Structure 1
Amino acid sequence: MCCFGFAPNIVLCIQDKKLISLAKKFSQCYLSALLNKNKRNSTVSDTDSVCEWREPEELAALLDLELRENGEPQHQLLQRIRDVAKYSVKTNHPRFFNQLFAGVDYHALTGRFLTEALNTSQYTYEVAPVFVLMEDEVLSKLRSLVGWAEGDGIFCPGGTMSNMYAMNVARYRAFPEVKLKGMWSLPRLAVFTSQQSHYSVMKAAAFQGIGTENVFKVKVDDRGCMIPEDLGETIELAKSQGAVPFFVHATSGTTVQGAFDPLEPIADICDRQGLWMHVDAAWGGSVLFSKEHKHLMRGVERADSVTWNPHKMMLTGLQCSAILLKDTTHLLKHCHSADAKYLFQQDKFYDTSLDTGDKSIQCGRKVDCLKLWLMWKAVGSKGLEERVDRKTFSSPIYLTYVFRFCSVEQPLFVNVCFWFIPPSLRGKENSPDYNDRLSKVAPVIKERMMKQGTMMLGYQPQGGRVNFFRMIVISPQLSHQDMTFCLNEIERLGSDL
């Protein structure tokens, strides 16, 4: 067995000697850029493209994706790696505004390399002793930020799965017989969520046999926040139709507008009705690090469960998502356990409560805690608070200050939503075809920016609003110059529309 060092003080063991040279060249080159603090924390420069767009047929030919009978030599594999990097979207680029993630913390990236090299599964203490204890510590710390001294939780493969866990555990608490007898034993169940909540609520209802027609959408205000009064009325409506309410899904940081539902009045309603309150804080949960901004989630400690994705604002990299529960009665395990005798033997020589795999609906479970733990160790809670305050919230404030487009709403968070009004539509707001023509603007500009590779940001319609841009400003590399460039580039790309 041979070893090589691919980053300061990090040594990985590679069992196959043929991989050493290839892995060393790639990892050293990649990490040398990330670990150089004296330069912009990026694997790309400002002049590099965010993406090098190719049509699918052309890209498939360039990559030579066919899998053949015989293997390829190292020099050819290295070229494959270069091609993969070249034609992939550079999400670390400061002008990547397209998703609810951007960039990656280099401490977290180091943890990700180490996790992949160690190649273990997070289900038992015997095979993952370090990571079982580490996950427990990280989850405990996250729960303390929510406001819980005790509780439970598990890392999941993404926020959608975390939300599914919450709904499933809530149903099990209300109707434990469902695990044995299935949906046949239950009445018609009702779920409540806002009109702007994540689509995973509908997926969870479909996946768990509750049915999407039994997801009741609660009205939102102009900012996208759930209206508590309408929640109360909608619950009564569901009851009048013979449904049994059991689950309220609130959101802290909606996907499009970045809205935070008012948790205190929602919790009051859930208390009165005896309903499970879940807070989907996949996007906005990291405000809890900030003394200045945690008021956006005031009342979250009253929830029964919380979804939190550190791979978004905290930059741990994909994927890192946790479901946190206030419960101390082991609902998570009782709901999902199958008591596999070959894996979770109860006569082991150590404390079997450390075998956490039976809490999960998975068997093999990827280690997601190391990257967050290592980053947290490196910068501390104060460093993460500073990241939220200075690197995140300062950017939309600046962007709003210099804004010269038509804003959808004043941003509450780091989602900046706006229309670009092209020259041909200026002053024609009262024209009968105005909205139809405006709806075509964002898709054309998006196509142009991607094909030229200058930047990426998303667009979408919402309710009665036609297509508008959604710019996510969280990259740690983002400068005022980048944001000004973005506005200028949209004007350039849309000047002839």
Structure 2
Amino acid sequence: MPANGQGEINVDESESYSDTLASSEDEEAACLSRTIERSFTTTTLPADKLATIESLPSKRDHEAFFRECIDIMLREAIFEGTSRRTKVLDFKQPETLLKLLDFDLKAQPSSHSDLIKSLKDVIKYSVKTGHPYFVNQLFSSVDPYGFVGQMLTDALNPSAYTYEVAPVVILMEETVLREMRQIVGWPNGEGDGIFCPGGSMANGYAISCARHYYFPEVKTKGLHGLPKLVLFTSEDAHYSIKKLASFLGLGTENVHLVNTNSQGKMDPDHLEQLINTSLENGERPFMVSSTAGTTVIGAFDPIEKLADICKKNNMWLHVDAAWGGGALISKKHRNLLKGIERADSVTWNPHKLLTAPQQCSTLLVKHKNVLSEAHSANAAYLFQKDKFYDTQYDTGDKHIQCGRKADVLKFWFMWKAKGTSGLEQHIDKVFENAQYFYENIKQRPEFQIVIPEPECTNICFWYVPESLRMNSTEEFLDKLQNDGEYKEKLHRVAPKIKEKMMTEGTMMVTYQTYKEKPNFFRMVFQSSGLDKNDMLHLIQEFERLGQGL
């Protein structure tokens, strides 16, 4: 056999599943072998490549390949890719990367050795998002137990729509979602919930549920004949609220943006003003989408006050806790979401603050039947009512999707491994790291804080190079407010530092503007694998990269 482990096909010698059949099935297997051999005679593919066209693994053709691939992934992507001694990324410009990797798809199959090279190249030039110094997005880390759960999910390849094809993951989903609802504060975990392909879609489901709750006729008759429906969210809310309102036919102009205060929280007084104006204009306000952990600032809207307003005006209250929902598990920090039990629906992404592998997003709903009533289509070929088991576990009809990856398994495996107490310790650790980082940079003249006393693990700051430093924070803020040229110079600092950190590969931290503020950095901490030494290293790295600007 060639070194690439493929060799010529010989069905009689193959160690695939058919060879394990009992002797009573030998004749059937032999007949199948002859059929396969006859089908192969019509192909023009080289004989040593034929093993790659079957979508069934065989021990002879694939075991060594699997083991080598998994060994490379563990060594280079997992352990080296998360080591502090290695780079976060090996950045290349697009035109260079197109030449370095063989992206082309060819008519003929590739050899295993070529595939191994591609595997190594993909790892080499990908961003190591599990690296301790990848603090660029609202996800990070490679949780060891989540990783195993992810691999198991792909090995089993279930589609979670009926109990008959996915019995384990269906029950797993119901268990995890009920526990999450209980943590939210709904008695005995009552209500309903689904796993979604991302927090944006979870927010879209919430809008759909709210609309159906007040206007169930929309399912059959559409928007025609309905009053002008409007919803409200803060100016700092995730863009998915507008995007999904458009997708659902409500229109972005009917998403009214509520002012936020200096800490990024929704202003309840302004919300009431907007609702009153909407009613005077003959519109039908039906929903408020609040945020528990805004994307940039990490602000938590005042849920209790918003719940009072929604109750008064007969409106659905949604809480987008995609980012901040993990704080619910911590006794120290769950008060950030005080009043969340009064919400009608909650988006909560375990792949964010809890560091489950991507993607792992949920929508939790207080009202038990609204998901299925709003979205079911009763496809007769899937959801037969006369099955021999309890069909309440055929949960797929309340989803918009049919085929759906079982995102629950990796999170369940993590939770099973660590227990709720372990998840709580994780949350407490990342908040502790964020506070330590904040307290340190606050004392250094080269750092200026954008949002004082941050609530979540988002730490927003300006790095101020020596050429732009002032004698005090007061002088800095005055200069920023009144000197346009100074503001423009500071605006250009973050992109220059980001370019240096990307090309050197030492860390990844994002930057952005906010309202009228010039570019600043946003550190987001969610990996409990970091410690105080890492916080100091990140600070020192900013100081190094900012020299000479």
TM beyond 0.5? yes
Deviation at 1:34, TM superposition (A): 9.3
The aligned amino acid for 2:70 is S
Deviation at 1:155, TM superposition (A): 0.3
Superposition pairs for residues 419-438 of structure 1, below 5 Å? Answer: 419-427=462-470, 429=479, 430-438=482-490
Superposition pairs for residues 224-373 of structure 1, below 5 Å? Answer: 224-328=264-368, 330-373=369-412
Aligned to 1:396: 434
Quote the Cα distance in structure 1 between the aligned partners of 2:119 and 2:72: 12
Pick aligned residue for 1:382 from 421, 426, 435: 421
With normalisation by structure 1, the TM-score equals: 0.94
In structure 1, stretches of 5+ residues that fail to align are 4-12, 36-40
The aligned amino acid for 2:385 is Q
The aligned amino acid for 2:405 is K
In the alignment, is residue 175 of structure 1 matched against residue 215 of structure 2? Answer: yes
1:280-311: CA deviations, max 9, x gaps?
00000011111111000110000000000001
1:342-369: CA deviations, max 9, x gaps?
1111111111111111000001011011
Deviation at 1:483, TM superposition (A): 2.0
1:90-146: CA deviations, max 9, x gaps?
011111010001102111110110100111100000000011111000000000000
Quote the Cα distance in structure 2 between the aligned partners of 1:254 and 1:230: 18
In the alignment, is residue 469 of structure 1 matched against residue 521 of structure 2? Answer: yes
Quote the Cα distance in structure 1 between the aligned partners of 2:75 and 2:483: 56
Quote the Cα distance in structure 1 between the aligned partners of 2:377 and 2:178: 25
Pick aligned residue for 2:169 from 114, 125, 131: 131
Quote the Cα distance in structure 2 between the aligned partners of 1:287 and 1:44: 25
Quote the Cα distance in structure 2 between the aligned partners of 1:310 and 1:408: 27
Checking the alignment, whether the CA contact within 8 Å between 1:30 and 1:43 is kept in structure 2 is no
Quote the Cα distance in structure 2 between the aligned partners of 1:29 and 1:58: 24
Pick aligned residue for 1:452 from 479, 504, 515: 504
1:156-180: CA deviations, max 9, x gaps?
0000000000000100111111111
CA separation of 1:138 and 1:486: change in aligned 2, threshold 3 A: same
Q: Which has the higher contact order (CA 8 A, sep 6+)?
A: 1
Checking the alignment, whether the CA contact within 8 Å between 2:77 and 2:128 is kept in structure 1 is no
Bigger shift: residues 75-84 or 233-242: 233-242
Checking the alignment, whether the CA contact within 8 Å between 1:14 and 1:20 is kept in structure 2 is no
Superposition pairs for residues 26-37 of structure 1, below 5 Å? Answer: 26-31=69-74
Deviation at 1:15, TM superposition (A): 2.7
In structure 2, stretches of 5+ residues that fail to align are 1-14, 18-54, 471-475
In the alignment, is residue 65 of structure 1 matched against residue 107 of structure 2? Answer: no
Deviation at 1:32, TM superposition (A): 6.7
Deviation at 1:29, TM superposition (A): 4.4
The aligned amino acid for 1:85 is I
Quote the Cα distance in structure 2 between the aligned partners of 1:264 and 1:19: 57
Pick aligned residue for 1:140 from 178, 188, 195: 178
Checking the alignment, whether the CA contact within 8 Å between 1:42 and 1:477 is kept in structure 2 is no
Deviation at 1:33, TM superposition (A): 8.3
Checking the alignment, whether the CA contact within 8 Å between 1:105 and 1:316 is kept in structure 2 is yes
The aligned amino acid for 2:205 is Y
Pick aligned residue for 1:160 from 187, 193, 200: 200
Pick aligned residue for 2:66 from 23, 34, 57: 23
Checking the alignment, whether the CA contact within 8 Å between 1:177 and 1:185 is kept in structure 2 is no
Checking the alignment, whether the CA contact within 8 Å between 2:81 and 2:88 is kept in structure 1 is no
**Which of the pair has more CA radius of gyration?**
2
In the alignment, is residue 417 of structure 1 matched against residue 469 of structure 2? Answer: no
Deviation at 1:420, TM superposition (A): 1.0
Deviation at 1:241, TM superposition (A): 2.4
SS in 2 for 1:187: coil
Aligned to 1:10: none
Quote the Cα distance in structure 2 between the aligned partners of 1:44 and 1:131: 29
The aligned amino acid for 1:313 is L
Checking the alignment, whether the CA contact within 8 Å between 2:81 and 2:130 is kept in structure 1 is yes
CA separation of 1:292 and 1:113: change in aligned 2, threshold 3 A: same
Checking the alignment, whether the CA contact within 8 Å between 2:355 and 2:526 is kept in structure 1 is no
Aligned to 1:406: 448
Bigger shift: residues 402-411 or 152-161: 402-411
Aligned to 1:104: 142
The aligned amino acid for 2:282 is G
Aligned to 1:214: 254
**Percent sequence identity over matched residues?**
49
Checking the alignment, whether the CA contact within 8 Å between 2:138 and 2:323 is kept in structure 1 is yes
Aligned to 1:50: 88
With normalisation by structure 2, the TM-score equals: 0.85
Pick aligned residue for 1:85 from 123, 129, 135: 123
Higher helix share: 2
Deviation at 1:432, TM superposition (A): 3.3
1:210-229: CA deviations, max 9, x gaps?
11111111111111111111
Quote the Cα distance in structure 2 between the aligned partners of 1:14 and 1:482: 45
| Two-structure CA RMSD over aligned residues (Å) | 1.7
SS in 1 for 2:309: helix
Checking the alignment, whether the CA contact within 8 Å between 1:395 and 1:474 is kept in structure 2 is no
1:183-210: CA deviations, max 9, x gaps?
1121211110111110000111110111
1:366-390: CA deviations, max 9, x gaps?
1011111111111101111111112
Quote the Cα distance in structure 1 between the aligned partners of 2:467 and 2:214: 57
Bigger shift: residues 472-481 or 155-164: 472-481
Q: Report how many aligned residue pairs link the two structures.
A: 481
Checking the alignment, whether the CA contact within 8 Å between 2:427 and 2:528 is kept in structure 1 is no
CA separation of 1:34 and 1:67: change in aligned 2, threshold 3 A: closer
CA separation of 1:284 and 1:173: change in aligned 2, threshold 3 A: same
